Amino acid sequence: MLEIVSEELRHYQEQKLIEYRNKNQLAPKGGIVFAGDSLIEFFPLKKAFGSCLPIINRGIAGIDSQWLLRHFSVQITDLEPKHIFLLIGCNDIGLGYDKCHIVKTIVELISQIRSHCVYSQIYLLSLLPVSNNPRYQKTVKIRTNAMIDAINKDLAMIPTVEFINLNTCLKDEKGGLSDENTLDGLHLNFPAYAKLAEIIKSYI
């Protein structure tokens, strides 16, 4: 089953973009930006990393890599960040795009970010696993761990960025997102985010 972007979700995304554009005018430059889809938007960054770090969340639920390519200025480069953490691509799979298209778009996204933020450190976070549990099929839809693993293999080869593997620490013995780490087979609970934070901390 393919993912469908509803009018309600599209409206939410557009409103979130306006909100971020307004916030950017007051946000300090040279901070740490996390950008991506719902997996970033719902990441409790201040709770995970503390309120002392200049961390800015620019995640928007439901977006894919093409959306971020069109709006990277608002979500990333307008902030002139020192560190950029990207997590994008899972929704591309849900929308039916193939591996080559997804990787190509992410490569172009990184190229555009790099051209605007020459001295920023860009960290590309791996796509995260999805549950193999049949009860979560309605949420997971056509996403598969085989596809996710194949994309991650290619993403790890992209030059000029540092790839961070967050995938393995969330998997169960069958190679899927473990039930203890998820709310619905796709999105994460706080213990799962805490695991990711422990890995990411060494890069901040």
pTM value is 0.97
For the domain that residue 166 is a member of, what is the CATH number?
3.40.50.1110
The number of distinct structural domains making up the chain is 1
Domain membership flag for residue 139? yes
Q: Which two tokens stand for residue 115?
A: 């051209």
Residue range of the domain that includes 141 = 7-203
CA distance readout (Å), 196 to 116, 158, 174? 28, 21, 20
Whole-angstrom distance, CA of residue 156 vs CA of residue 126: 8
- Which residues does 146 contact at the CB level (< 8 Å), separation at least 6? none
pLDDT beneath 70: ranges in the chain:
none
**1 part of a folded domain:** no
Q: Give the closest residue to 84 by CA, choosing from 165, 158, 29.
A: 29
Q: Which helix (H) or strand (E) holds 56?
A: strand 55-59
Question: 2 in a domain, yes or no?
Answer: no
pLDDT digits (tens, 9 = 90+) for 143-194: 999 999 999 999 999 998 999 999 999 999 999 999 999 999 999 999 999 9
On whether residue 196 sits in a domain, the answer given is yes
In a domain, 135, yes or no: yes
